[in-house]
Structure 1
C-alpha cells in the first residue's frame, strides 16, 4: 500500500473518531409531546432554525439538532438515537417541511452550499 493511501486512511479514521467523540455523551432526548409543544411556538422554531442554519445563537437542543438533522436530510438515521427518537426526528422534519416551509428552506440552503442569497431563518414562521 502506498504512503498516500495510508495517509488518506489515517485521516478518514481520525475524522470518524472526532465525529463520534463530538456526538458521544449527548442525550438527544426528544419525545413527541415536547416536540409538538415546541413546534407550536413560532419564536422557538425560528430560534432553533436560525441555529441549524448557522444564522443565530444556539442552545443545547439547537446544537443537537444541528448534528442530527443533516443526517436525516441525507436519508440516513441517527445511530445514537433510539427508534422512538429517530421516528420523532422524522416527524420534526415532516412538520417543518409542511408547516414551516420557509424555515425548512433555510436549513436546506446551508446543506446545499449554494452561492446565491440564503433564505433567512428569522421571520420564516410568518
Structure 2
C-alpha cells in the first residue's frame, strides 16, 4: 500500500468504524464479523480488509502517523472494543502490537 494513501485509508476506516459503532450496534453480528476478519478467524469484506491493513499502524505504531481526529477516533474505537470485547482486544494487541526485542 502506498504510504501517501494511508491517511486517506485511515480516514475512511475510522469513519466507517465510527458509523458501524453508531449505526449498527443493535446487531453486533457485523462488528463480530469485522473483528474475526482482523484476527484471521473469518472472511473479510472490503471494510474488514481496510481495518486489518490499518491495525499495524493503529496498534503497533500507536497511531503516530494519524491526524488528531484520526487519533481521537482510534481511541474511541479502541475503548469500545476494550469494553465490549476485551478478549478480542488482547488478541488484536498480541497480533498487531509491536514485538518486544
Deviations 1:19-50 (A, max 9, x none): 52774763632338514325723211110111
**Conserved? CA contact 2:39–2:91, under 8 Å:** yes
Q: In the TM superposition, what are the counterparts of 1:24-103 in structure 2 within 5 Å?
A: 26=9, 28-29=11-12, 30-31=14-15, 34-37=19-22, 40=25, 41-77=27-63, 79=65, 81-103=66-88
Runs ≥4 residues deviating over 6 A: none
- Name the structure with the higher helix share: 2
Unaligned runs of at least 5 residues, structure 1: 1-17, 113-126
Provide the alpha-carbon RMSD of the alignment.
3.1
Equivalent residue for 2:93, pick from 104, 108, 123:
108
**Conserved? CA contact 1:35–1:92, under 8 Å:** no
**Conserved? CA contact 1:69–1:89, under 8 Å:** no
Unaligned runs of at least 5 residues, structure 2: none
Question: Once the 2 structures are TM-superposed, how far is the Cα of residue 65 of structure 1 from its aligned partner?
Answer: 1.3
Give the count of matched residue pairs. Answer: 94
TM-score for the superposition, normalised by structure 2: 0.66
Q: Distance in 1 between matches of 2:34 and 2:3?
A: 23
**Residue in structure 2 matched with residue 119 of structure 1 by the alignment:** none
Greater CA radius of gyration, 1 or 2? 1
